Amino acid sequence: MPSAHPSSRTGTAQDLLRIVTRAYELELERAGIPLPVKTEFQRRFIEPFFRVLGVGAGKLMEAVPGDWNVAFHDKVYARLSSPNVYPFDAGGPAILRARALARDVEARAGRAPALLALISHPPAMGSLAHLNFELARHATLALRAVRGRPCRPRMVAAIDPFALDAANIVEEGLYAGFMGTYHLGLDRLALGRGHAGPSLTPRASWTAMPARLLGVLAGGGEVGMVLSGGIPTTGRVLYGVREWARRVRRESPYVADAPAAQARLRADASFRRFERVAAEQAFMPKGIWRVFDAWLMAACAGLLPGESVEDAAVAAVSALEVPDARRPALMLDLRRDLTRETPVRRRLFRIIASRAVRRRPLVLLPIVHSVAPPGVSVREARAWEAAGPGRVRVRRADAPDVASETTPDAFADLFVEENFS
């Protein structure tokens, strides 16, 4: 039977996703949960055909008026979440304050700010799965309300076989084509599949989509994205732990000496065991630093029986001789990220600040779900303006006259702590 998440070894960062997909496959096997069977014939010929139809629908959507577009998405999301549809209040206090903040920023900067709705991620299955559609619906409506004029909100959404494994092949093709064209679709398995589908939506490849996202923001567009980058378990492995591994690397005296780092790591019993075990479960990427990332990701994903991610982390900071004074803070940050629904994702905030905010101000709008009772709420917006290399000037919608300068990293810590527990 073909893999539900087809990919081949590419020698790139894409190989790291195989750690996530393999962990998920093992989880499904243990739970006895079947997925729709998708044959190689279907992936080669049927999925591309329906992806073309999805691409066409995306191009058609570009031609219709912005408010018709928003109304269409509102109806689609509401139908998908029905009967659990929660009212959206365009005149709610948080929306009105965010709109006033956006106008104030526009008057001060002489150009309209980009709008970025950062969204929480509820469970993907079960009785709360409808919240995923409601969050997307509320984000679309909130972006339109804050903008205060016709616009075209774009949603960041994964469109690879891993993200769409529960959909049938027709649904997968239509969704990938539409989301990869009109919206900011992200194909995390774009390379090496040997199918025509990814070539039909080249801007959705993980190698191209980030530049597209930053271009939309730098151009003053409206974007909604799940801050965790996926379901919480995927976010912790793919972003939280991997970004933590990069911090460990920077703290190591071997950061610029890969051969010495490799020798130190292979002297560690835990790392040697990982190389033996993981080679049977997932692709081993090229380069010692990617292998180092894979070690910690595999531990977090549960692919190393008997070893937790904290065990691997302790071994990692020791093997790379991270200064003793820096270790407690690093371990504390790791523990915090492992308990969150959403990792802090400092790197994402840094990139947005350096690539988009230096060209145009940005208003960030947190949109989060609750489970008891189920619901969706819009929280207090923030505005970012460039304040020099590595710094941003921040204003809150509930205190727009008060500005403070900070780093994207420090902002990320406070913003995620306040809005994404």
The residues that bridge with 222 in the sheet, in sequence order, are 115
16 domain-assigned: no
Question: What's the mean pLDDT when you consider all of the chain?
Answer: 95
- Find out whether 49 and 196 touch, Cβ atoms under 8 Å: no
Rounded to the nearest 10 degrees, the angle between the axes of helix 327-339 and helix 309-319 is: 160
> Which of 383, 358, 363 has the alpha carbon at shortest distance from 143?
363
pLDDT digits (tens, 9 = 90+) for 152-204: 999 999 999 999 999 999 999 999 999 999 999 999 999 988 899 999 999 99
**What is the number of other CB atoms lying within 10 angstroms of the CB of residue 2?**
13
Shared-domain flag, residues 380 and 411: yes
* Per-residue pLDDT band at 125 (split at 50, 70, 90): confident
Shared-domain flag, residues 50 and 199: yes
3 domain-assigned: no
pLDDT at res. 154:
98
Domain with 264, as residue range(s), is 235-337
Shared-domain flag, residues 332 and 346: no
Distance from C-alpha of 419 to C-alpha of 421, rounded to nearest angstrom: 6
Shared-domain flag, residues 116 and 253: no
Residue 154 identity: R
pLDDT digits (tens, 9 = 90+) for 207-244: 999 999 999 999 999 999 999 998 888 999 999 999 99
The residues that bridge with 374 in the sheet, in sequence order, are 371
In this model, does residue 1 exceed pLDDT 70?
no
pLDDT at res. 11:
87
- With the CA atoms of 189, 195, 201 and 205 taken in that order, what torsion angle do they form, in degrees rounded to the nearest 10? 20
213 domain-assigned: yes
Shared-domain flag, residues 303 and 323: yes
240 domain-assigned: yes
Shared-domain flag, residues 239 and 327: yes
* Per-residue pLDDT band at 285 (split at 50, 70, 90): confident
Shared-domain flag, residues 262 and 166: no
Residue 302 identity: G
pLDDT at res. 272:
94
15 domain-assigned: no
pLDDT digits (tens, 9 = 90+) for 236-281: 999 999 999 999 999 999 999 999 999 999 999 999 999 988 877 7
7 domain-assigned: no
User: What is the percent of the chain with per-residue pLDDT over 70, rounded to a whole number?
Assistant: 99
**23-32, 146-155, 319-328 — which is least confidently predicted?**
23-32
Shared-domain flag, residues 50 and 175: yes
34 domain-assigned: no
**What is the number of other CB atoms lying within 10 angstroms of the CB of residue 189?**
24
Rounded to the nearest 10 degrees, the angle between the axes of helix 47-63 and helix 169-181 is: 40
* Per-residue pLDDT band at 2 (split at 50, 70, 90): low
pLDDT at res. 280:
75
Q: Which of 317, 337, 357 is the last residue of a domain?
A: 337
Total number of domains in the chain = 2
Shared-domain flag, residues 395 and 246: no
In this model, does residue 6 exceed pLDDT 90?
no
Shared-domain flag, residues 139 and 273: no
Distance from C-alpha of 212 to C-alpha of 203, rounded to nearest angstrom: 7
Shared-domain flag, residues 186 and 173: yes
28 domain-assigned: no
Shared-domain flag, residues 164 and 193: yes
The structure's pTM equals 0.96
Instruction: Locate 15 and state its tokens.
Output: 């190989």
User: What is the percent of the chain with per-residue pLDDT over 90, rounded to a whole number?
Assistant: 87
Q: Which of 337, 365, 381 is the last residue of a domain?
A: 337
pLDDT digits (tens, 9 = 90+) for 387-411: 999 999 999 999 999 999 999 999 9
pLDDT digits (tens, 9 = 90+) for 346-359: 999 999 999 999 99
pLDDT at res. 7:
83
Q: Which of 294, 317, 337 is the last residue of a domain?
A: 337
* Per-residue pLDDT band at 283 (split at 50, 70, 90): confident
* Per-residue pLDDT band at 381 (split at 50, 70, 90): very high
